[in-house]
Structure 1
Amino acid sequence: MLFLHCRVVFQDSTKIRWTNAKCISLNQSWVRINQCRLKAIKRDMTVFNFNATFLHPTKDIEARYRVFKRENGYKPWLINMKYDCCRFLRRPYDTFGIFIYKLYKDFSNINHTCPLHGDILIQGFYLRTDLFKLPMPTGDFLLSTYWYFYGKPQFEVNVSFEFIENLI
């Protein structure tokens, strides 16, 4: 009798990694951006660190999320949404917003409702494939976010990432 011992290891065939980050304060009297950078931890792992200071308590925060796909320059791709962040922090109400929040909530100090004031931190944020369940084509993407306080633009955060799905 011949026994063949076969060990099958299933690896996630999806790879996601940060490629660029750019943060701009549009109103220095309300928001000061102290840090916005990517840091390579391992060959295939890059983390995003963000540190901003809200200089005044803010009860009216709105965010506009847009996703672009790189094809001869960045072209709009599927998602262009605006959220009332204070309402969302009280009770999450949108599928894409919940998806984005679940990605960064473990790395952030944004764990309470408005008013937000003081340091806003996102430290060591990396993209985890176990939470990234959206069907996406392979390619380079840009997540562009504009943040408004009381209807006026305050800062923007643009992060680029590469999504690779090896099906072979």
Structure 2
Amino acid sequence: MFAKLTFLFRLLMLSLIIEEITSRVEITNLKCKTVNKDLAEFEYCSIKAINRTYKYVSGKFKHYKLPIKRIKVNFGLYKRFNGYKPFLYNQTVDACLFLKNQKSNPVAKYFYDFLKGVSNLNHTCPYNHDVVIEKLSTDIMNYHLTKVLAYPEGDYLLETHWTLNDIRSAVIQLYVSVF
């Protein structure tokens, strides 16, 4: 009986230690570029560091020609190996169709889940307002990049190209490290 209790205690302690040894995510850089300033531009796009381990990303993309009836997003994930090389994903999504049926594209859904709780990208087209992302935190990214779909350690770049009403409008590059 004592041997069983000792074994269970050791198993419990091991599970607690393993739970503590998880990957962490750090936002290392953010670049937002407006391609067509007649159509839209970034009011702000920044990383805010609260302390050494907690950072978040916020941005506001102002639209000058509303409504936005067609949105296409090309997103590519890159990993750093002597420069950034393609890693796993590079696809273009019709965002208006995707928002109508999110189950149609599991990869786009995975990346959309990062944003849906911290942005106003929560309805189908048309968009008659600016797009705002507020406080996309390292906690949210850590959960998705280590618990939902575990990524190996390394430096990553998520690059998105936005086409609004068939006009190239913006490029966003988010750099993160998983360690």
| % identity of equivalent residues | 28
Counterpart for residue 98 of structure 2 = 88
Which one of 62, 79, 83 corresponds to residue 53 of structure 1?
62
Paired with 2:42 and 2:36, the residues of 1 have a C-alpha distance of 10
Counterpart for residue 164 of structure 2 = 149
CA shift at 1:152, angstroms? 2.3
1:63-98, CA deviations, whole angstroms, 9 ceiling, x for partnerless residues?
000011111111111211100000111111111111
CA shift at 1:151, angstroms? 2.7
Paired with 1:154 and 1:33, the residues of 2 have a C-alpha distance of 10
Give me the CA root mean square deviation.
Answer: 1.9
Paired with 2:167 and 2:115, the residues of 1 have a C-alpha distance of 25
The structure carrying a bigger strand percent of its residues is 1
TM-score (norm 1): 0.88
1:54–1:116 CA contact under 8 A, matched in 2: no
Paired with 1:61 and 1:73, the residues of 2 have a C-alpha distance of 30
Counterpart for residue 26 of structure 1 = 35
> Is 1:97 the counterpart of 2:112 in the alignment?
no
Structure 2 counterpart SS, 1:99? helix
Structure 1 counterpart SS, 2:149? coil
Which one of 65, 71, 77 corresponds to residue 81 of structure 2?
71
Counterpart for residue 14 of structure 1 = 23
Task: Report the count of equivalent residues.
Answer: 163
TM-score (norm 2): 0.83
Which one of 123, 135, 143 corresponds to residue 150 of structure 2?
135
Paired with 2:37 and 2:129, the residues of 1 have a C-alpha distance of 14
1:35-72, CA deviations, whole angstroms, 9 ceiling, x for partnerless residues?
11111112112100111112221111000000111111
State which structure, 1 or 2, has the greater radius of gyration over its C-alpha atoms.
Answer: 2
Counterpart for residue 122 of structure 2 = 111
